[in-house]
Amino acid sequence: MREIRLNIVRNEDLSYSVFICSSEWGSVLNKVVSSIKPTSVAIVTDTIVSKLHLRSIVSYLPEGINYVTVEIPAGEKYKTRKMKEYIEDKMLKFGVDRKGLVIAFGGGVVGDIGGFVAATYMRGIPFIQVPTTLLSMIDSSIGGKVAVDTPYGKNMIGSFYQPKAVVINVDFLKTLPSEQIKNGLAEVIKHAIIADKNFFDFLLENRNDILELVNDKLEELIEVGCSIKKKVVESDEKESGLRKILNFGHTVGHAIESVSNYKILHGFAVSVGMVIEAQVSNKIGILPKEDLEKIKEILSLYGLPTSLRELKLKPRIISDMVRFMRSDKKSISGEIHMSLPKRIGEMIDSFSLPVEESLILSVFRDQFI
Ligand SMILES: NC(=O)c1ccc[n+]([C@@H]2O[C@H](COP(=O)([O-])OP(=O)(O)OC[C@H]3O[C@@H](n4cnc5c(N)ncnc54)[C@H](O)[C@@H]3O)[C@@H](O)[C@H]2O)c1
């Protein structure tokens, strides 16, 4: 088992551990839950994860504990305020009180909505993240951003609310469809590009083992990936500066998701977003050409797309993408901002920069040549 400690001390100590386990995960979970001494437990999960792994998690809860399982349908479209209410009502009906515990058991959707329920239920009760997708293991379960989507945009209603612990079992990845593995790998590669050249080389060298889900390599990958997110989150819990570097590939990635009506998986959109933003960085003389080529190479090696054409998008979507980026949360006074890499493993010192629309348009057009 590997353990990473996140040190978050604000007005109170919000520090917690991320446990990266395989066969021993059940006993770790049992200890973590026992140490919180909850009056009852609400396991928030989705229908797919429930079918595959609910029996396992239940068998590791402390003996005799009162628990309720709240299942939501799987998928982003259920990360809504309505579904949050549904979960809360189930918990209220069961009698979960202020000393109760939420276990968010699933991918990023369940983590975000389950965490948000915990943040507001009786003004806040403890919660644990038990992530089951690669994306949630290295990204969404860490950092305390919890939210639901609205018709006006994704993650528009939410909070910063830290879990008491994150318990990862890499064996859960064995049941995850390969598209979802790739979806998470895009964020893993992003972590390497923004902060760690050695990690980038590790990902290049160990591609076969990683794609074959060899436990040792997965644990190492998750440990380094989480450590990178830890460093960023510790120094900037509420996204005022350094945390912006996590947005690399996301200014364009979010626009791609939006114009595809969220049919393109997040990681695939971010993969192309990273290439485009790296091209922008190269065009304004920041990122060397050689590093740009390496970024494209690693994404291709992991079976991720590197152009808008590969995503089967048509040139006519360009204007919609620019419009989206102008009104996105990351823009400032309508000016498009991007977090750009300086070289592999390092981002620009100011974390993000305003970028001229004419430059973005020319990079977009090049994507279709
Ligand atoms: N809070 C944050 O900091 C943060 C960061 C990044 C992304 N997110 C959010 O995360 C969400 C995406 O997360 P995701 O990619 O994990 O999607 P997801 O939760 O929708 O999971 C993807 C699919 O995999 C299934 N699944 C989960 N675990 C499985 C397993 N072990 N075996 C088989 N199937 C399994 C799910 O049922 C679902 O159908 C988005 O809502 C995004 O906004 C949040």
Instruction: For 65-128, give the DSSP string.
Output: --EEEEEE-SSGGG-SHHHHHHHHHHHHHHT--TT-EEEEEESHHHHHHHHHHHHHGGG---EE
| pLDDT for position 334 | 82
Read off the pLDDT of residues 297-341 as tens digits, 9 standing for 90 and up.
Answer: 999 999 999 999 999 999 999 999 999 999 887 788 889 999 999
DSSP 239: S
10 flagged as catalytic: no
- The model carries a pTM of 0.94
Q: Whose CA is nearest to atom 42 of ligand 1?
A: 108
Return the bridge partners of 165, or none: 17, 128
Whole-number average pLDDT of the chain:
95
| pLDDT for position 240 | 65
Q: How confident is the model at residue 239 (pLDDT cuts 50, 70, 90)?
A: low
Cα dist from 63 to 30, 95, 150, 355, whole Å: 9, 19, 39, 57
Cα-flanking dihedrals φ and ψ of residue 288, to 5°? -65, 150
Cα dist from 52 to 56, 61, 140, 231, whole Å: 9, 17, 21, 33
Return the bridge partners of 20, or none: 2, 168
- Whole-number Å distance between alpha carbons of 225 and 4: 11
| Ligand 1 atom nearest to CA at 173 | 31
Read off the pLDDT of residues 60-73 as tens digits, 9 standing for 90 and up.
Answer: 999 999 999 999 99
Which amino acid makes up residue 123? Answer: R
| Ligand 1 atom nearest to CA at 155 | 43
Specify the higher pLDDT residue, 237 or 261: 261
Alpha-carbon 145 to chain mean position: 10
Q: How confident is the model at residue 234 (pLDDT cuts 50, 70, 90)?
A: confident
Contact of 186 with 299, CB cutoff 8 Å: yes
Q: Which of 239, 283, 310, 330 is catalytic?
A: 239
Instruction: Quote the ligand 1 centre to 319 CA distance (angstroms).
Output: 29
| pLDDT for position 152 | 84
Q: Which residue from 43, 80, 117, 136 has its CB within 8 A of the most atoms of ligand 1, so it is best to mutate?
A: 136
Q: Which residue from 162, 180, 226 has its CB within 8 A of the most atoms of ligand 1, so it is best to mutate?
A: 180
| pLDDT for position 329 | 77
Cα dist from 271 to 210, 355, 363, whole Å: 18, 19, 15
Q: Which of 53, 79, 84, 145 is catalytic?
A: 145
